[in-house]
Amino acid sequence: MQSLDGNTGARDPQTLGGGETDKHLIYEGLARVSADAVLVGSSTVRGGSVVFSVWHPELVRLRETLGHPRHPVQIVATRRGVPIDRELLYNVPSVRLILLTAPGGINVMREALAGRPWITPIVVDPSRTLVDAFEELRAMGVRRISAVGGRHLAAELIDAGLVQDLYLTTSPAAGGEPGTPMYSGPLDSQTVVRKRGTRHEAGVVFEHSVLRPT
C-alpha cells in the first residue's frame, strides 16, 4: 500500500487511503489466502496486537478448501530481537511462529523462547544470507510466503531475488512519512493485472506485477 506520492510509512497503513477493498479483499484476503506463511519486519509488528491471518468467513472457507491450516505461519524478521513477553503475536500457542533472527537477537530472546514451543528461531549468522534462511523455511514446509512489509525488509527480499509477485495498491491521496517508497530503485517488472476502485473508492489503483528474475 502506498500513497499517491509513493510513501509506505505510516503507523497505521490504512490511513494512507487504500480503502476497505484493499484491506479486506487484497491485504487480508487474496494475498494470503493460499500462503503457508506471512512474513513481516519487526518494526511493522512493534507495539501492535495483530495476528496476520484471513478473517472474512468466505476467505476462511476458501483457505480451508485449499487444504491450508486456519492461520498462516507467522514469520517475524528481527536481527536485534523482539519483546516476546509483551506482544500478542508471540503468545498465541495455536499460531506457529518463526523468528528470522541473528546471533545477537537469539541471545536477547533465549529465555522467553524456552517456554514457547510454538516459536521456532532461524538464526542467520553473518556467514548466511536470506536465501539460506528461505531454503531452511522450505525444508520446514513453508513454500509460499506473503511478505507484507515494511519497506526495509521488502527491499532486502527483492534484492535477494526472493520475490516473484508484487501486489501494490496506490491510494488517490498524497501522504505517509516522506521518503518511504516501497523500493528506491527501478524494478524490472511486468504488470499483469490493474484494477481501479469505484464509487467511494474511485482513484484507488491495485496492481499485480511479476518481477523478472535478476
> For binding to ligand NAP (CB under 6 A), which residues are involved?
1, 8-11, 13, 16, 41-44, 77-80, 100-101, 124, 130, 148-153, 156
Question: Cα separation of 115 and 55, whole Å?
Answer: 28
Q: Which is nearer to ligand NAP, 66 or 104 (CB)?
A: 104
| Min CB(156)–ligand NAP separation in Å | 5
Q: How far is the CB of 130 from ligand NAP (least distance, A)?
A: 5
Q: Which is nearer to ligand NAP, 44 or 189 (CB)?
A: 44
**Closest distance to ligand NAP from the beta carbon of 64 (Å):** 26
Which is closer to ligand NAP, CB of 66 or CB of 121? 121
CB of 187 to ligand NAP, least distance (A): 16
Q: Which is nearer to ligand NAP, 33 or 81 (CB)?
A: 81
Q: Which is nearer to ligand NAP, 33 or 154 (CB)?
A: 154
- What residue number has its CB nearest to ligand NAP? 150
Neighbours of 33 (CB within 10 A): 21
Q: What are the b/e assignments for 75-96, b being 16+ CB within 10 Å?
A: bbbbeebbebeebebbeeeebb
Provide, rounded to whole angstroms, the least separation between the CB of residue 188 and ligand NAP. Answer: 21
Strands 189-196, 145-149: pairing kind:
unpaired
Nearest distance in Å: CB 82, ligand NAP:
6
**Closest Cα to residue 155, out of 182, 117, 118?**
182
Buried b (16+ CB within 10 A) or exposed e, 144-171: ebbbbbbbebbbbbbeeebbeebbbbbb
State which residue, 16 or 89, has the beta carbon closest to ligand NAP.
16
